[in-house]
Amino acid sequence: MPSFDIVSELDLMEVENAVNQTSKEIGTRFDFRGGKSSIELDKDAKTIKIMADDEMKLRGIHQIMQLKMAKRNIDLRGLKYNPEEQASGNMLRQTVELKASLEKEEMKETNKLIKESKLKVTTEIQGEQLRVTSKSLDDLQAVMTMLRGTQLKFPVQFINRRS
């Protein structure tokens, strides 16, 4: 039976490239000269650590990073900004969590949207992804189109398409 899986994750290679570009720009921009502002990606923890000299520079780093990510087609809804905290030397520290999987509530919301569409498909939760199955490829395409057109609070990708 034709099927596909719905997941919510970010491409870590593209995120790494965007973070590296952001770091380079911080090093060359006039408004960051003489400061200790930095940004780095922790692939294992799937977080981005930002250190900034003050609030204004932190917002500047956010803007640069978001611009670099948007250019690389990284969905910004996959970023979760934790509250900033004071670090040593009058610095600000902030971690940004990267989306790694669909949470239970997000799966339920997606499942509900699919059920409300009245398409002849079945859904099944499999770990951190949602499998959609149907006899008709057209129904599967309709589900993908409907989810892309819906304003969800989280990014979704479609993988493991089987015909």
Distance CA 33, CA 37 (A): 9
Same domain? 149 vs 86: no
Stretch 70-78: mean pLDDT: 91
Determine the pLDDT at residue 161.
79
User: Mind listing the pLDDT tens digit for each residue in 140-157?
Assistant: 888 888 888 888 888 888
Same domain? 86 vs 126: no
Determine the pLDDT at residue 34.
84
SS3 of residue 109 by DSSP: helix
Same domain? 75 vs 20: yes
Q: How confident is the model at residue 82 (pLDDT cuts 50, 70, 90)?
A: very high
Q: Is the pLDDT of residue 163 over 80?
A: no
**For residue 136, what is the domain's CATH number?**
3.30.70.860
Same domain? 21 vs 93: yes
Domain that holds residue 33: 12-98
Q: How confident is the model at residue 5 (pLDDT cuts 50, 70, 90)?
A: confident
Same domain? 25 vs 91: yes
Determine the pLDDT at residue 50.
94
Same domain? 81 vs 37: yes
Q: How far is CA 146 from CA 31, 78, 101, 115, 120, in A?
A: 44, 20, 20, 12, 14
Q: What percent of the chain is predicted at pLDDT more than 90? A: 40
- Which has the higher per-residue pLDDT, 119 or 69? 69
Exposure pattern of 129-149 as b/e (b: 16+ CB <10 Å)?
Answer: bbbbebeeeebbebbeeebee
* 103: alpha, beta or left? (left if phi > 0; alpha if psi -120 to 50): beta
Q: How many domains does the chain have?
A: 2
75 close to 155: Cβ distance less than 8 angstroms: yes
Q: Is the pLDDT of residue 115 over 80?
A: yes
Distance CA 69, CA 96 (A): 13
Determine the pLDDT at residue 61.
94
* Helix 55-71 and helix 12-28, axial crossing angle in degrees, nearest 10: 130
The residue from 98, 118, 153 where one domain ends is 98
Q: Is the pLDDT of residue 39 over 90?
A: yes
Determine the pLDDT at residue 18.
95
Stretch 52-73: mean pLDDT: 93
Same domain? 66 vs 142: no
Same domain? 16 vs 80: yes
Task: Tell me the whole-structure pTM to 2 decimals.
Answer: 0.80
Cβ burial of 127 (10 Å; 0-12, 13-18, 19+) is exposed
**For residue 22, what is the domain's CATH number?**
3.30.70.990
Paired with 91 in beta bridges are: 87
Determine the pLDDT at residue 31.
86
Could you give the angle at the alpha carbon of 120 between the alpha carbons of 100 and 130, nearest 5°?
15
